[in-house]
Amino acid sequence: SKRVVSGIQPTGNLHLGNYLGAIRNWVRMQDEVAADGGDCFFFLADLHAITVHNDPKELAGNVRQMAAALIAAGIDPERSTLFNQAAVPAHAELAWLLAGTARIGWLNRMTQFKDKAGKNREGASVGLFTYPVLMAADVLVYRTTHVPVGEDQKQHLELARDIATKFNLDFGTDLFTLPEPMIPPTAARIMSLRDGNAKMSKSDPSEQSRIHLTDDADTIAAKIRKAKTDPEPLPADPAVLAERPEARNLVSIYAAISDESTEQVLARFAGQGFGAFKPALAELLVETLRPITARLAELERDPAELDRILAHGAAKARAAAEPVLAGAYAALGLTRET
Ligand code: TYM
């Protein structure tokens, strides 16, 4: 049976890239997996968030807020285990045990580190560099089979597979399973509304670059209206669209939300300009996000209930992680209890 695990950093609001690239798949997996006797673990990656500067006064609130957003988007804490990473020490412990197996050369190839560290590589935190080892621990500690993520996390999961393979081989064990990334076909990489060559991201300083799940109908419509495009009408041929990054991005968003292929969307809108396409896209977005936004507002009124949900999830996660953590200590010849 399937064991599904994925995480999200509790920084900023949930945006459309997170939702279409990952969270919607979490919700789908939750239904599919429960039907076949498997289980799902979803967590707020607060230990990952501290690899860059994070205000300690805001972190707990951000964890709660992101938990509420996930529940509003369809994660059912009765069926899925929902928790924050810091509440399950096995993640951090296993990350240290795996640090003996992961190679510096492997980490040196990680493109996200290069992007996030920028020019000041020497001044980046050690945690930002070893971040993918913690991420490997996050999935390996549950013997995960499937990891629903956006395309930007694919390289990190390949590293997790390399670490698992080397650990199993070096220590003569079959403790770790190899996790399979699950990347959606049409929303693997949602781009900024201001620049079709930059990823939609919570770290972009422009609010106009992304749609938040908390945006109201007018804000969504305004952001789509102002989204960068080109003057040409939409083509019928996806290969032609592929050469127009901003147009391609808006069509991908439409296709992902309406659960259609790019071809199907183009078949409907070919020959029409953005004056017609943008209002149709805005309306679709507003209709899809409206129930999520409403539910989110309701959940945020009861922080004590959110804390109770997270505590319950953490207890379940600790129990699930413990045998694998014990197996890793034993495989390494380490004594935990005397
Ligand atoms: P994070 O918090 O940056 O993003 C959460 C999820 O959203 C996806 N995503 C996108 N998908 C499509 N288009 C975009 N523009 C876009 N932006 C974000 C991400 O791919 C991700 O799936 N390292 C992870 C969190 C993490 C994790 C894990 C994930 C920590 N441990 C273990 C899976 C398994 C991260 O920073 O995601």
101-152 residue pLDDT tens: 999 999 999 999 999 999 999 999 999 999 999 999 999 999 999 999 999 9
Who contacts 4 (Cβ-Cβ below 8 Å, separation ≥6)?
Answer: 26, 29, 30, 33, 38, 39, 40, 41, 144, 145, 146, 147, 148
Q: Is 215 annotated as a binding residue?
A: no
With a pLDDT cut of 70, the percent of the chain lying above it is: 100
CB 260 within 8 A of CB 195: no
The pTM of the full predicted model, rounded to 2 decimals, is 0.97
Who contacts 337 (Cβ-Cβ below 8 Å, separation ≥6)?
Answer: none
**C-alpha distances in Å from residue 105, one per residue of 27, 109, 127, 152:** 36, 7, 16, 20
pLDDT band at residue 153 using 50, 70 and 90 as cut-offs: very high
**In the structure, which protein residues have their CB atom closer than 6 angstroms to any atom of ligand 1?**
6-9, 17-18, 21-22, 45, 48, 135, 138-139, 147, 149-150, 152-153, 187, 189-190, 199-201
Nearest CA to ligand 1 atom 27: 7
260-308 residue pLDDT tens: 999 999 999 999 999 999 999 999 999 999 999 999 999 999 999 999 9
Q: Which residues are catalytic?
A: 116, 199, 202
Nearest CA to ligand 1 atom 20: 150
Q: Is 258 annotated as a binding residue?
A: no
Q: Is 75 annotated as a binding residue?
A: no
pLDDT at 77 over 80: yes
Beta strands in the chain (DSSP E): 3-8, 39-44, 81-84, 146-148, 180-182
**Strands lying side by side in the sheet with 81-84:** 81-84, 39-44, 3-8, 146-148, 180-182
**Which atom of ligand 1 approaches the CA of 9 most closely?**
2
Ligand 1 pocket check: which of 149, 182, 186 to mutate, most ligand atoms within 8 Å of Cβ?
149
